[in-house]
Structure 1
Amino acid sequence: MSRLFLFLSGSIGIAALAAFGAGWSAPALAADQPRIVSMNVCTDQVLLRLADPEQILGLSRFSGDARQSWTADDARRYRILSGGAEDVLVLRPDIAVASVFDKRSTRELLKEKGIHLVEFAVPRNLEEAKVQIREMGEITGHPDRATAEIARLDAAVARAHRAVADKHYRVLPLSRRGWVSGSDSFVSALLTETGLFNAAGDLGVAFGGFASLESIVNLKPDFILVSQAGDRAGDDGQAFLLHPALERFYPQAKRIVIPERLTECGGVMLTEALDVLVKELKRVER
C-alpha cells in the first residue's frame, strides 16, 4: 500500500495533519476571499504582493531563499510547503497556484483530488508579465492591487526610457560558464523595452546558449549584464566571469549588475529591476 494512499485515508491522514502543523488552524477570512497556496517561487512573489496575509496558507519551499526570491523576508512569515501534493491536500486551499514547469505528476494529482489549480507559464515579455499580474489579482480577489502594481511597472519603464535616451547601448547578458540570455529571452525583452539592445543577437543566440570567451571579447558590447559584483567566485561556473580577459575588457565600470532574483521571474519585482538598471547605467556612465 502506497504512502500516499495511507496519507489520504482515515486516521493516518489525521496523524499526518498533526505532524504537519500541530496547533495550527486557518485564519478567519471574509466569505468572498479565497484561501490560496503557491507552489512556485515565481507565483509566491506575486501572491505576496496582491493577497491579504490571511489568504496565504502556504508558499513554495524556495520562497525564503533570498538568492531566488525578491520577497524572501516576507515569505518567512508563512508556512513553507514541501513541494509534494500531501501538504497541499492537508491544507485544503480554495486555489493552488503553480508554474507549468512544476512537477507534472504533482499537479495532476492535485487536480484529480479536486484542488482548483491555476498554472502560470513563464512570461516572455513585459506584456505577458502584466497579464499574469492581472490574473493573480483576479485570483486573490484584489484586481485593484494588480492595477496599481502594473501602474508602478509602467512608471518604472518610463523612467528607464528617459535614462537610456537614445544611447543605443549594446548589452550582453552574461552568467555562469558563459551562458548568454538570447535575443528572444525575457531579459532581452526587458532590455528592448527600455531602449537597449541585446548583443546576443550578434552571436546568433536566440533564447539562450553558451558563448566562448573569445567570441564575447570579439563581440565588444558596450556593457555586460551580470547578476553580482565582486572579485570572488563561489565555484568554477562563477569563475568564468572573473577570467582575466573579461576583467580586462569588462571591469566593474563596464558591468551592469542586476541581481538574478529580480529577473528570474516576470512579475511585480520587475519594477525594482528596472530601477536598478537605471541606477547601474548612471554608475557606469560616470
Structure 2
Amino acid sequence: MRRFVFLVAIAALGMSGGAVFAASPPRMVSMNVCSDQLLLALADPEQILGLSRFARDGWQSQAGDISRYPVLSGAAEDVLLLKPDLVIASAFDKRSTRELLKAKGLHLAELAVPRNLDEARAQIREVGDMTGHPDRAVAEIARLDAALARARRAAAERHYRVLPLSRRGWVAGSDSFLGSLLGEVGLRSAAGDLGFTFGGFASLEAIVSLRPDFIVVSQAGDYARDDGQAFLVHPALERFYPPERRIVIPERLTECGGVMLADALDALTAELQRVRP
C-alpha cells in the first residue's frame, strides 16, 4: 500500500507541473543513516542533494568518498532550501520536522525499519523504484542472496548455539532483526533460553551459566570506550569467551537492515571460518 501511495504521488507531481520523475530522475535528500545507505547505493550522485548529519561518522564506509555530498543539520530549514523532489525519512525521525516538511508541500517517503530479510529485500526494491533505478535494487538483492548462501554454507552442519550480546548485557532475541538474520543462516539463538523473544538485559552470571558455543558481538578487542561496553570485556566474559569464542559483526552493518546486509553476512561467513575448530 505504501508503495502504491508513493507512485500515485509521483503521478500527481507530473500532472501538476512538478518534477516528472520518468523523464528526469528525482532529486532527493536523506534524513538518517539508513536512508543514506540506500541512496548512496541506488541513486546517481547528482540525485543526492544532501545526507543526514551522521553520514560521515563511519557508517557509510562502503560508499567511498562521500565528502561531495552536503551534510544536513536534521532541521527542516536546510531541507526546504534544497527543494528536493523527495525526502527519504524514517518513522523514527523527528515527527515535528517531518510534519513541517509535509506542510510545506514536500513529498516524504517514510520507511519502516525492516524486521527480517524479506522486509529488507522489499525496502531495497521500493527505494530502487523511488530513485528510478530498479535494476540497481535487483543487483543489491542478488548480492544479498549470494552472501546469504555463502553464510549458510559456512554454518551448515555446525549446529552452533549463539548468543547475540551487546552493551550492558543486552541480548537480541530471535524476533529482533539480528536474531532473525542469524536464524536465516542456520545458527540457533540461545536468547530463548533466557526467556527473551525480542530482547532483554541478561546478568553476567546468566550468560556464563548459559554456555552458548559463541557470543556474537559488534567489535573485537579488549578496549571499552564507556561503561556500557565495559560489560563485554569483563574478566569473567573474557575467560569463558576469548576471541576464538566470539563472532564479530560490526553494528553498522546490521543496524539498518538494508544494502549493507550483504557485507554483514560476509563478515559472519569470515568469522565462522575463523572460529571453526
- Do residues 177 (structure 1) and 185 (structure 2) align? no
Given that 1:183 and 1:206 are in contact with CA atoms closer than 8 Å, whether structure 2 keeps it comes out as yes
- Do residues 44 (structure 1) and 4 (structure 2) align? no
Q: For residues 213-263 of structure 1, give each alpha carbon's deviation from its aligned partner in whole angstroms, at most 9, with x where no partner exists.
A: 011011111100011111111111111111111011100010001111001
Given that 2:174 and 2:183 are in contact with CA atoms closer than 8 Å, whether structure 1 keeps it comes out as no
Q: For residues 171-214 of structure 1, give each alpha carbon's deviation from its aligned partner in whole angstroms, at most 9, with x where no partner exists.
A: 11111110111111000111011101111111111212111001
AA partner of residue 42 (structure 2): L
After superposition, residues 82-97 of structure 1 pair within 5 angstroms as 82-97=73-88
Shift of 1:74: 3.5
Shift of 1:159: 0.7
AA partner of residue 278 (structure 1): T
Shift of 1:73: 4.3
- Using the size of structure 1 for normalisation, the TM-score is 0.87
2:140 is matched with which residue: 149, 157, 162? 149
- Do residues 285 (structure 1) and 276 (structure 2) align? yes
Task: Please tell me the root mean square deviation across aligned C-alpha atoms, in Å.
Answer: 1.4
Give secondary structure in 2 for the equivalent of 1:238.
helix
Shift of 1:167: 1.4
1:58 is matched with which residue: 50, 67, 76? 50
State percent identity of aligned pairs. Answer: 73
Gaps of 5+ in 1: 1-28
Q: In structure 2, how many angstroms separate the alpha carbons of the residues matched to 1:210 and 1:247?
A: 19
- Do residues 244 (structure 1) and 235 (structure 2) align? yes
- Do residues 228 (structure 1) and 219 (structure 2) align? yes
Q: For residues 101-155 of structure 1, give each alpha carbon's deviation from its aligned partner in whole angstroms, at most 9, with x where no partner exists.
A: 0000000111111101000011000000000000110010000000010011011
Q: 1:53 to 1:38 in 2, by over 3 A?
A: same
Q: In structure 2, how many angstroms separate the alpha carbons of the residues matched to 1:72 and 1:275?
A: 17
Shift of 1:164: 0.8
AA partner of residue 56 (structure 2): G
How many residues in Structure 1 have an aligned counterpart in Structure 2? 257
Gaps of 5+ in 2: 1-20
Given that 2:28 and 2:49 are in contact with CA atoms closer than 8 Å, whether structure 1 keeps it comes out as yes
- Using the size of structure 2 for normalisation, the TM-score is 0.90
AA partner of residue 52 (structure 2): S
Shift of 1:166: 2.4
Give secondary structure in 1 for the equivalent of 2:266.
helix
Shift of 1:72: 6.5
AA partner of residue 197 (structure 2): A
